[in-house]
Amino acid sequence: MQVSNIVNLGIKELRSLARDPMLLVLIVYSFTLAVYTAATAIPETLNKAPIAIVDEDRSPLSARIIGAFYPPLFMPPVLITPAEMDARMDAGLETFALDIPPGFQRDVLAGRQPAIQLNVDATRMTQAFSGSGYIQQIVTGEVNAFIQRHRGDATPPVDLALRVRFNAELNKGWFGSIVQVINQVTMLSIILTGAALIREREHGTIEHLLVMPVTPFEIMTAKIWSMALVVLVACAFSLVFVVQGLLAVPIQGSVALFLAGAALHLFATTSMGIFLGTVARSMPQFGMLLILVMVPLQMLSGGTTPRESMPEVVQDVMLAAPTTHFVALAQAILFRGAGLDVVWPQFLALVVIGVILFGLSLARFRRTIAQMS
């Protein structure tokens, strides 16, 4: 092995990438607009949900309930007739339609348990799930306050002291932006290395390399360090200028320690990209393989859903995936300010997994080159 060959081949890969405008656009988009969108596009809490109310009672209690719905949780209620309710729901004008029956206040004061009908458009999944609970709390609170003639709540037997750590504002954007950066590191590293290998085959330049005094190890290592460097620089830029700068997300731990863990993760995922690039014979095949690989890596690694809520079999299998350990160390460092004394098991796991994937990819790469020669 000659270090100069690895360096020169890596520089060649960087020049090839610089001449590919589509991949450059993908890199820029993935670490800027995609991160910003993940942090801001989907609100975690209910926000300006449209609601219509059918007031068949027209009593002080029903007026009190109508007045309890206001921004930012709900849009100002639209008063409609019973005949309009189904048509407006079918047209998608409201997510919720509340029907207050006639004699509602009379039944409440008489100690009966009248029913209020709530129609929910379940196609708006996020609003439907959280909004139904909010509406039940609002209606129950207004009815209790009306009966008691005041808004004082009964003193609970236990005082629950809530302490929110690591995200005091419960801001979904803090979580979404960092998780998106983590996912993009995995996706781009696999795409760039796999695409670099397939591009060599499609352009016929891999044959030129075979007649040069370079080894498969040097060719593969050059692709890995060059593509990993690109992703690592883009990740650092996104954390500093997009996450901390544009989105004002406070990062608790050391960015340098996170980037060190990302470098180990990139060693594993770029090796995986080389392996997929040797299996696929064209870019369309590589794209199909990428979907089959990326979906479980992102969904089952603990980035969006805690691993403890998954079946034990899935938890055990995903311990062999580098994303599981990368997500754990990234969240520990960036969210909770953990140091190396806390995340060293994840660092060690990434080293072991990276070495195994590198060995498998190198063996597969050598067989592929032998078949071509």
pLDDT reported for residue 342: 92
Give the whole-angstrom CA distance, residue 352 versus residue 54.
63
Q: Decide if 100 contacts 54 (C-beta within 8 A).
A: yes
Q: Decide if 274 contacts 220 (C-beta within 8 A).
A: yes
Q: Decide if 68 contacts 142 (C-beta within 8 A).
A: yes
Furthest-apart CA pair in the chain: how many Å? 95
pLDDT reported for residue 281: 83
Q: Walk along the chain (373 residues) in steps of 10 and give the mean pLDDT of each run.
A: 84 89 92 89 72 93 92 90 89 90 90 89 78 89 81 62 74 83 94 88 70 82 94 95 90 92 96 91 88 89 83 91 93 90 94 95 86 65
pLDDT reported for residue 86: 87
pLDDT reported for residue 147: 84
What is the per-residue pLDDT across 296-308, written as a single tens digit (0 to 9) for each? Answer: 888 888 887 788 8
Residue 250, CB half-sphere, CA atoms under 13 Å: how many? 10
Provide the residue count of the chain.
373
pLDDT reported for residue 167: 75
- Where do the domains of the chain lie, and which CATH numbers do they carry? 3-41+171-372 (no CATH), 51-148 (3.40.1710.10)
What is the per-residue pLDDT across 58-117, written as a single tens digit (0 to 9) for each? Answer: 999 999 999 999 888 899 999 999 989 888 888 888 889 999 999 999 998 888 888 899
- Measured CA angle at 44 (ends 41, 46), to 5 deg: 100
Give the whole-angstrom CA distance, residue 313 versus residue 327.
19
CA 152 to chain centroid: 41
pLDDT reported for residue 45: 65
| Secondary structure E strands in the chain | 51-55, 78-79, 96-100, 117-120
pLDDT reported for residue 153: 55
- φ/ψ of residue 86, rounded to 5: -65, -40
Give the whole-angstrom CA distance, residue 270 versus residue 275.
9
pLDDT reported for residue 282: 84
Q: Decide if 96 contacts 123 (C-beta within 8 A).
A: no
pTM of the predicted structure, to 2 decimals: 0.77
Q: Residues near 313 by Cβ (< 8 Å), separated by ≥ 6? A: none
pLDDT reported for residue 369: 78
